[in-house]
Amino acid sequence: MEIFAHADYWTWAEHVDVVADDEYPDHARADSPQRVALVQDLMRSLRGASRGC
């Protein structure tokens, strides 16, 4: 999954119970590990969005 600049993930997270993300690193890209880590950090940050955590 990529990060979509116009998506408000935190507002969306208030309306869902589970956030899942599948990552498939592209070993042809030198920045692939960083991109995967960035998306995973974003997904983890959504936990508790509706609780104001």
Long-range contacts for 40-46 (Cβ within 8 Å, ≥24 apart)? 42/3, 42/9, 43/19, 45/10, 46/9, 46/10, 46/13, 46/19
Total tally of structural domains belonging to the chain: 1
Digit-coded pLDDT (tens) for 8-48: 988 888 888 887 888 888 899 999 999 999 988 888 888 77
Domain housing 30: 9-51
pTM as predicted: 0.68
How far from the centroid of its chain's Cα atoms is residue 38's Cα?
A: 7
Q: Is residue 37 part of a domain?
A: yes
Rg (CA), the chain: 12
Q: Is residue 4 part of a domain?
A: no
Q: Is residue 23 part of a domain?
A: yes
